[in-house]
Amino acid sequence: MNAVAETDRLLSEHGAVLVRQGKHRIYRLPTGQLFTRPKTPSDHRSTLNNLSTLRHALGIQRAQEPTKGDREQMPTQRPTIVKTPPPPAAAPVVANTPPAADPPEMSLKDRIQAAIVIEEQNQERVLAEAQAVERRVNMLKALLPFAEDPSIEASLRGVLPAPEPPPPPPVMVQRPPDAITERVQVTRQLVLAATQTFDETFTVNDVMALMVNGRQIDPDERGRVRSSIAQAMMGLHERGELVKEQEHFGRRQTIWRKAQLNGHSNGVGTRA
């Protein structure tokens, strides 16, 4: 292998550019490196060294050099050129910036001073509002003597703020009853008349069933009616118009019977 011819071929195929020449020829390789070779090679050994240096700069892997006998028997083969991609650009080096330190905790004195500044600002705002209200009060007091002058009444009404209308009363929506009920009128005379219809003994529940007469009433109304009938029967008993046959005991109700009233056994009258 002719080292000089191989060197010229590699420089030509890889697009090396001759930068300058003197005693040596200096080429710029595609990788950016500079390759220097003597203008006139001194010996075969230096020529082979230059070829090896060029291959290494171009990234060409060189097969093992055959012996002299093998070189005489082997046909001349063109070396395989392996093009390596340019090295990737180095990532930018980012300086390690230390994390931001937490703000130092305020001392008690600094916190009090900061609170004083805030409260002073609030005080100034409140004083400004109070001064505005005071000026308005003085203005209204100055207008008060002219309130009865009809010629400037319209102008004074324009100065005064419009009174706010009173809020509407809440609308009470009554729930519809679960069932239609009736109210039962209870008076002492009606209870007396109801008791005079019984020939035998009776209880408060018997009188209530007679006065309700099967009408549908809600539980609250039923309790009111029974209580009113019981009070009326106690009043009739005190007047001698009803007689207790047996006192109540536990859950057993008081048993009543009607008194004989002036010859009327089934009606309203006076005691005999």
- Examine residue 38 and state whether it is found in any structural domain, yes or no: yes
Distance, in Å, from the CA atom of 61 to the CA atom of 82, rounded to the nearest integer, reads: 7
Q: What is the pTM of this model?
A: 0.32
Q: Give the domain-ending residue among 61, 76, 92.
A: 61
Determine phi and psi for 202, rounding to 5 degrees.
Answer: -155, 170
- pLDDT tens digits, the chain, 272 residues: what are they? 688 888 888 888 888 888 888 778 888 888 888 888 887 776 778 888 888 888 888 888 665 454 555 455 455 555 444 455 565 665 555 555 555 555 567 888 889 988 999 999 999 999 999 998 988 888 888 877 877 777 777 777 766 766 667 778 877 766 655 544 567 778 888 888 889 889 889 999 899 888 888 777 788 888 888 899 999 999 998 988 899 888 887 788 899 988 876 554 444 444 44
CATH of residue 32's domain is 3.30.920.30
Domain membership of residue 175 (yes or no) is: no
Q: Does 144 reside within a domain?
A: no
Give the separation between CA 79 and CA 2, rounded to whole angstroms: 12
In a domain, 98, yes or no: no
Residue 74 within any structural domain of the chain:
no
Looking at the chain, the number of H-run helices and the number of E-run strands are 8, 5
- In a domain, residue 192? The reply is yes
Total domains present in the chain: 2
Domain residues for the domain of 10 are 3-61
Task: Tell me which of 18, 41, 61 is where a domain ends.
Answer: 61
For residue 231, the domain's CATH number is: 1.10.10.10
Angle at 132 (CA atoms; ends 126, 137), nearest 5 degrees: 125
Does residue 121 form part of some domain?
no
CA gap 12, 241 in Å, rounded = 147
Write down which residue in 61, 77, 92 finishes a domain: 61
The CA dihedral of 125, 131, 136, 142, to the nearest 10 degrees, is 180
Q: Quickly list DSSP for 90-145.
A: PPPPPP-PPPPPPPPPPPHHHHHHHHHHHHHHHHHHHHHHHHHHHHHHHHHHHHGG
The token duo for 203 is 């209880």
Domain-embedded: residue 77: no
